[in-house]
Amino acid sequence: MRRLKIFDTTLRDGAKSLGLNLNIAEKMEITRQLVRLGADVIEAGCPACSAADLAAVQAIAGEVKGVVICGFCGANEQEIDCCAGALRGAEQPRIHTGLTVSPLYMEKKLLNPAQVIEKAVFAVRHAKKYVGDVQFYAADAFRGRPSFVAEIMEKVIAAGATVINIPDTSGYATPWEYGELISYLLDNVKNIDRAEISIHCHNDLGMATANSLAGIKAGAGQVEGTINGIGERAGNTSLEEVIMAVYTRPAAAYGVELAVNTKEIASTCRLASGITGVPIPAHKAIVGANAFKGAGDIDDTTPANEPYTIIKPETVGVHPGACRPLPAEEIAANNSNVSVKKISITTNGVTRATATVTLQVEGDTITDAACGTGPVDAVFKAVERMMGVHVLLEEFSLNSVGRGSESLGDATVRLRCADNGLVVGRGLSPDIIEASARAYVNALVKVKILSIS
Ligand code: MN
């Protein structure tokens, strides 16, 4: 039986496409958790896209072992060279290069099919000078002519590609069409036995998981996706959904076996959500807050409604009834050289609020006050003034962690800072105003580091 390889692109096609600027420590935390989950390949970034991506791929390649570390690049010498350089320290490096193969794109770029093939073959040959494992992507393959996709695949496999990625870049496919395309390639690419087929779907029509499963059933050996399905537009395939869809059926149903530690799914999804600041919807399959609550369930202490439940919560690492301990990773997010010492708020709930905030900044204690439309806005203004950074608040959310009076406020902010994209900050505290202040401080510290580097 084939073993289905899990290719995670949370850091590249996920967070990066959303414009999120995660620092190396955050990317490393996500990567380590993906290794615990049992991912086979981790696409750590696009080194030629930015200095930050280059540094992150370099750091991950140097430190994370026992898994394939992949770098993404376009089909040109310069990007491939940069990618290869970033992967130098990797135990199992993979270069993922390619280009778009749909007629629409070729017309736009004034390229004829022969030129596209020439570029593709050149890119694979060039990447092969650096690494043995080269994955080729034919972006928008689903809207390409199948005979052309087959032709280009045969040529890149002959040039040394070990994996060929057939993406539904625009999220247009239906499961049966996607399955048919994979079957067509298996039947029409003569040297297909020398490479593995990878599938990469997007969720524009809500079918990314279904399309991926159709591709797996048709014979693909690798599935690409992100944790929680994050990604541009409607997102990428949710890896946790594909994993559990395969897991809940006998191996023969899809013709593949999995080597994933499903018990790590909940912590992986929670960690990715916390770090990216992209919340998990309550009704989200597998990991949403309501995923295991049936109509008969009253609260978290009621066991899942056995006859109707197809997945035991424990299988994905959810333990209903147990008060969730705060993961040490989450606590670390609050550790920095700036901390919130004291907050006092004056508000009558009608007019503007005033906040007086005291921060400890590298041993110094500073206090400032500001007015805002509400207490949180006033706190943010005071903090911003003391830290001397100007940002645009794009999103602020507040959740509760734990149950009852023991619960903590969990605040997440997403800030936009000029050229540096989006930065996420998180803060936890029994006091929701303090949690908000901590989240803001956490984000501003990251902004400051980014603007220095
Ligand atoms: Mn994509």
State what percent of residues in the chain have pLDDT above 70. 93
Q: Which of 140-144, 213-217, 229-233, 326-330 has the lowest mean pLDDT?
A: 326-330
Query: Ligand 1: distance of its center to the CA of 120 in Å?
Result: 18
Query: Ligand 1: distance of its center to the CA of 232 in Å?
Result: 8
Res. 160: pLDDT tops 50: yes
Query: Ligand 1: distance of its center to the CA of 116 in Å?
Result: 19
373 pLDDT tier (thresholds 50, 70, 90): very high
Query: Ligand 1: distance of its center to the CA of 171 in Å?
Result: 9
Integer Cα distance of 338 and 439 in angstroms: 12
What's the mean pLDDT in 354-358? 97
Res. 306: pLDDT tops 70: no
Res. 330: pLDDT tops 80: no
pLDDT in tens, 116-131: 999 999 999 999 999 9
What's the mean pLDDT in 419-448? 91
What's the CATH superfamily of 2-276? Aldolase class I (3.20.20.70)
Query: Ligand 1: distance of its center to the CA of 99 in Å?
Result: 12
Query: Ligand 1: distance of its center to the CA of 203 in Å?
Result: 10
Q: Report the sign of the C-alpha dihedral through residues 76, 69, 335, 320, in that order.
A: positive
**Predicted pLDDT of residue 304:** 52
Residue-range domain boundaries for the chain: 2-276, 328-452
Query: Ligand 1: distance of its center to the CA of 98 in Å?
Result: 12
Query: Ligand 1: distance of its center to the CA of 141 in Å?
Result: 11
Query: Ligand 1: distance of its center to the CA of 201 in Å?
Result: 7
Res. 411: pLDDT tops 50: yes
**Predicted pLDDT of residue 321:** 54
**Predicted pLDDT of residue 402:** 77
Domain 328-452 CATH class label: alpha beta
Query: Ligand 1: distance of its center to the CA of 200 in Å?
Result: 7
Instruction: Report how far apart the first and last C-alpha atoms of the chain are (Å, whole number).
Output: 49
Query: Ligand 1: distance of its center to the CA of 308 in Å?
Result: 34
326 pLDDT tier (thresholds 50, 70, 90): very low
Per-chain mean pLDDT for the chain: 91
Query: Ligand 1: distance of its center to the CA of 169 in Å?
Result: 5
**Predicted pLDDT of residue 301:** 53
What's the mean pLDDT in 348-358? 90
Whole-prediction pTM: 0.90
Query: Ligand 1: distance of its center to the CA of 222 in Å?
Result: 15
Angle formed by the axes of helices 24-37 and 265-276, to 10°?
170
Res. 328: pLDDT tops 50: no
Query: Ligand 1: distance of its center to the CA of 170 in Å?
Result: 8
Query: Ligand 1: distance of its center to the CA of 325 in Å?
Result: 35
Res. 148: pLDDT tops 50: yes
What's the mean pLDDT in 371-395? 94
Query: Ligand 1: distance of its center to the CA of 373 in Å?
Result: 40
Q: What is the 3-state secondary structure (H, E, C) of the chain?
A: CEECEEEECHHHHHHHHHCECCCHHHHHHHHHHHHHHCCCEEEEECCCCCHHHHHHHHHHHHHCCCCEEEEEEECCHHHHHHHHHHCCCCCEEEEEEEEECCHHHHHHCCCCHHHHHHHHHHHHHHHHCCCCCEEEEEECHHHCCHHHHHHHHHHHHHCCCCEEEEEECCCCCCHHHHHHHHHHHHHHCCCHHHCEEEEEEECCCCCHHHHHHHHHHHCCCEEEEEHHHCCCCCCECEHHHHHHHHHCCCHHHCCEECCCCHHHHHHHHHHHHHHHCCCCCCCCCCCCCCCCCCCCCCCCCCCCCHHHCCCCHHHHCCCCCCCCCCCHHHHHCCCCCEEEEEEEEECCCCCCEEEEEEEEECCEEEEEEEEECCHHHHHHHHHHHHHCCCCEEEEEEEEEECCHHHCEEEEEEEEECHHHCEEEEEEEECCHHHHHHHHHHHHHHHHHHHHHC
**Predicted pLDDT of residue 19:** 86
pLDDT in tens, 6-17: 999 999 999 988
Query: Ligand 1: distance of its center to the CA of 167 in Å?
Result: 7
Query: Ligand 1: distance of its center to the CA of 71 in Å?
Result: 14
